[in-house]
Amino acid sequence: MDPMYLALSLFRRRHYDKCIDICTSILDRQPLDQAAWCLKMQAMTQRVYVDDLESEDPAVQDDFLDSNVVATAPRPGTSLKTTNNGLNATALGARPRTATGRPISGIVRPGTQLAGPGTALERLRTSRGTTSQSARSIRLGTAAMLTQKDGPFIQISRLNLSKYAKNKALNKPLFEYLYYHEGDDWWWKIQLAKCYVALNLIRDAEQQIKSAIRQHPNVESFIRLIRIYIRIDQPLTATEVCKQALEAFPNDVSVMTELARLTEALNESQASVKYYRSIVIEDAMNTEAIACIGMYHFYNNQPELALRYYRRVLAMGAHSAELYNNLGLCCLYSQQLDLTLACFQRALELATDNLIKADVWYNLSHVAVAAGDIALAVQCLNLCLSANSSHASALNNLAVLHHKTGKSHLAKAYLASARGHQPTLPEPIVNLEILQQA
C-alpha cells in the first residue's frame, strides 16, 4: 500500500501517532515532500488540540473578595443576576427555574456540536491535489522544511512567514500548527488571561484578551471576552462584543450561540429564537439551537411544533433523560397520550442525577392530574421530593392536592416549606395568603 495513502487513512481514523510515524519515514526518504510535511503538521496539531470553550461555566464564580461587579443594584435588564428572579421569570415564553437557576422542566442545554474550521478531509485536499508520486515530490525551495533527527520538526525562526501566508495550501495548516502545537505571541496572552480568570483577576484578563484581539482577531478571543463580561455581570457589554465579533466573523455559529444564550438569559425570548434560527440555517445539525427553538414553541402554547423539533433532535442520535422528558411533555399537551408514558418511562431509565429524576416525577404528576388520578399525582410528587427534597414547585402542588382533599393544615405546612426553599416562586406566596384568609 502506498505510504501516503496509508497515512491519510490513519489521519481520517484519528490514529495520529501512527500517521506521524509514517510521515516521518516518508520525510526521511524525501525531506522536501510537501504533502507529507503538511500532513505530519496537521496530525501533530490534532493530537494536542483541545476545545475548552464549552467546558467553562460562566455562571459559576467565587464571590469571595470579588470587586469586579460594577453595581450592586443594577438597572432592570442590565444584569443576569436579577433577570431570573421575581415574577419576570414566569412570563410567557420564559423558562421556569428553580432557586439554583435550573429549569424546572428538566431541559438541559446540550453541548454545541460545532464543526471546526473545516474537516480533516477538507484540509488534506488543500495540501495536495493528487496522490501521484510526482505531485508529492513538489519542492518548496527552502531549507525551513528540513528537519533534523532528535531536533524540532519545524525550525520556526527560519520560516519565511510572508511567503507561507500567500500559499493557500499551507497557510492554514501551518497557522494551526503554530497556534495549537507551538503557541506564540498573542496566543500566550490568551493563556495568560485564562490564568488571570482562574485567579479571579478579571480586569487583568480583560486587558490581555483585548490586546490579543487588537493583535490578531480570533473567534476564541472574542468568546473569552464575552465570558468575562458575563462573569462580572455586564450582559449589555457582552452583547456589544458579540456584535463586534459578528462584524469580524459574519454568521459564525459559536458567536451567534453566545448571543442567543445572552438574550435568553435576559428573558428576551423572541430575539433569542431569532438567533437560534440563524444558527440552524448555518448548521442544521446544531442540537442546542434546535432544542431551544422547540422549547420556545412549547412555552408559547405550541406543543405540536415543539414536538417536531425534539423529534428532530432524537433522529440525530441524541438520547438523554432531558430529551425524553421534553418529548413526554409535548406529547401530553398535544394530546398524544399513547406516547406520553412511554417517553417518561424512557426518561426515568436514562436519568442518573437525582435532580433530573425529581423533574421527571414532577412532570409525571401532571400526567396523573390530567388523567384525574389524584392519588397517583400525590405519589409522583412524593417520589419527586424523595429525589430532591427542596423542589419548591412539587411542594406547592402537593399542598394544592392536599387542600382539595380537605387537609388544610398539611397544605399550609407544604406551602410554608416551598416558600422557604424558593422565596422568589410566586405560587406558594399567593396560595398561602389565600389559605390564611379562608
pLDDT computed for residue 273 by the predictor: 94
pLDDT computed for residue 112 by the predictor: 35
Sign of CA pseudo-dihedral 354, 360, 365, 366? positive
pLDDT computed for residue 125 by the predictor: 34
pLDDT computed for residue 121 by the predictor: 33
Is the residue at 293 inside a domain?
A: no
Mean pLDDT of the chain: 80
Is the residue at 90 inside a domain?
A: yes
DSSP labels for 69-120?
A: -S-SSPPTTS-STTTTSSGGGGSTTSPPB-TTS-BTT---PPPP----SS-H
More confidently predicted of 20 and 108:
20
Is the residue at 309 inside a domain?
A: no
pLDDT at 375 over 60: yes
CA distance 72 to 74: 6
pLDDT computed for residue 138 by the predictor: 31
Q: Domain range spanning residue 244? A: 60-101+168-267
Q: Are residues 1 and 96 in the same domain?
A: no
Is the residue at 206 inside a domain?
A: yes
Mean pLDDT, range 204-227, rounded to an integer: 92
Core vs surface per residue 42-53: b (16+ CB within 10 A) or e: bbbbbeeeeeeb
Helix, strand, coil % over all residues of the chain, rounded to 5:
65, 0, 35
Indicate the pTM of the whole model. 0.64
Is the residue at 386 inside a domain?
A: no
Phi, psi dihedral angles at 194 (to 5 degrees): -60, -40
pLDDT computed for residue 52 by the predictor: 64
Core vs surface per residue 98-107: b (16+ CB within 10 A) or e: beeebebbbb
pLDDT in tens, 243-258: 999 999 999 999 999 9
Phi, psi dihedral angles at 386 (to 5 degrees): -70, -30
Q: For the chain, how many structural domains are there in total?
A: 2
Is the residue at 19 inside a domain?
A: yes
Instruction: Quickly state the pLDDT bin for 215 (edges 50, 70, 90).
Output: confident
CA distance 58 to 63: 13
Q: Are residues 175 and 221 in the same domain?
A: yes
Mean pLDDT, range 377-403, rounded to an integer: 92
pLDDT computed for residue 120 by the predictor: 35
pLDDT computed for residue 30 by the predictor: 87
Q: Are residues 10 and 86 in the same domain?
A: no
Q: Are residues 74 and 220 in the same domain?
A: yes
pLDDT computed for residue 261 by the predictor: 93
More confidently predicted of 13 and 150:
13
pLDDT in tens, 126-155: 333 333 333 333 333 344 455 555 556 666
Beta bridge partners of 397: none
Q: Are residues 94 and 232 in the same domain?
A: yes
Q: Are residues 174 and 37 in the same domain?
A: no
More confidently predicted of 363 and 149:
363
Task: Give me the CATH number covering residue 249.
Answer: 1.25.40.10
Is the residue at 12 inside a domain?
A: yes
CA distance 320 to 19: 35
User: Following CA atoms 403, 409, 410, 414 in sequence, which dihedral angle do they give, to the nearest 10 degrees?
Assistant: 90
Mean pLDDT, range 397-413, rounded to an integer: 90
pLDDT in tens, 219-273: 989 999 999 999 999 999 999 999 999 999 999 999 999 999 999 999 899 999 9
pLDDT at 109 over 80: no
Calculate what percentage of the chain has a pLDDT beyond 70. 74
pLDDT in tens, 55-104: 665 544 445 445 555 566 677 777 777 665 544 444 444 555 555 444 44
pLDDT in tens, 290-332: 999 999 999 999 999 999 999 999 999 888 999 999 999 999 9
pLDDT at 362 over 70: yes
Is the residue at 6 inside a domain?
A: yes
Q: Are residues 180 and 260 in the same domain?
A: yes
Q: Are residues 261 and 208 in the same domain?
A: yes
DSSP-derived secondary structure letter, 144: G
- Strand, coil or helix: what is 311? helix
